[in-house]
Structure 1
């Protein structure tokens, strides 16, 4: 499976799968093509064997740029309760937070108890309304006469963010050459499935390994990531590869977390750097 941003040409196929998944023909105003033309960077699709199995369409508000809105989410009936929608929501949270948003808004029908339960589990709060249905606050006539809706909001936080210079946040501080770099390029499978917790554990474990020099890691919205770890010798790299807990992570990675990956080991012979406001360095 592969997660990527939607493209304009996806619209026709997704409209078709909505009909299959929901058992009814979607009306043109449910999910117009304009969303696939203008909100690609904040909308995502999950593909498996060339077929769509889930998608999320959302955007950043122009009127209230600190707010983002999730408009439509769909998942194949056979793929429900497997973490795909949670993964799509988290991708959306990350994408809109990078654009300065601090809130995400969603509306749903008061009859859709599954949606209400899901959004509550995802940390959304029900906003005050002017009516109530089965104990749930609703906004009456939200989408027209008699069209009651539950309004949700989730506030995005940066509680884990450490305030420090950007270069220190992203770039490892390596010593004078020579040293070694292990470049791990990977494509993730959908869903977290314990990946984030294990990734944090591996970074902490690696930092305590003899010969560890630093690490840099990024992953894009399509699930493609690159992690580079730096070491003082090939012996240190081999010791890390054979670490017992690391071997467990490697095994689970092949079983659940990665569609594919490549590991490359390099000897760094020359390095250049630049730091705005500081002094650059040239090795070699």
Structure 2
């Protein structure tokens, strides 16, 4: 069922996005046109995409399409691209914060598949940086790895691109939108702080800190969760396995989600 909206949404419909802001306003060829930073360390590829409802109650944003998602974009069916290869951990994360029902691996994958393919449902999916971001490591271009989130938004080229994206896609969210879930926290919370600065610039107003992983203005709460492609034991620990202190960040995310939706977190569920 489609959600109602009281204002035009700056979120796109489920499709390829027509955007040339970061490419000097010149025409681009989807998934081929690139722009490289002056120092040659970073590049973006013009392939912005969106899935789900532009008037969604909940917006789920990665940082940028990684190499698994970005491969063969011109031939892969649209609804198979988002979080390709990572839908199970996406499901685990969304279930952990109470946004979808938990279950076995098959159930979680199917739930995420269904939500991504629904253009009129409760969710929209995309990325903070809609074009693909890659970093030169001295031998090849890589779209994943430690420090990607923090590093990109910390340099002038990255800040310019990120500012363009936040201003275009997050400034005028639908009246239906109450929550934005952001994959990634960065080293010692650096990505949380840098993303907040960008979003506050795009959405001037009264802001408050909800907790160490969440912040909000008068309309929308932004909650950072573990990245679905985190390496090693980061995600299991965030999910609460082994009683590690990182699990407290997962609990704080669940509490912030519950608060944004006017609900209560009880025994690991938002109800």
TM-score (normalised: structure 2): 0.29
Which structure carries more strand by proportion? 1
Of structures 1 and 2, the one scoring higher in RCO (CA 8 A, sep 6+) is 2
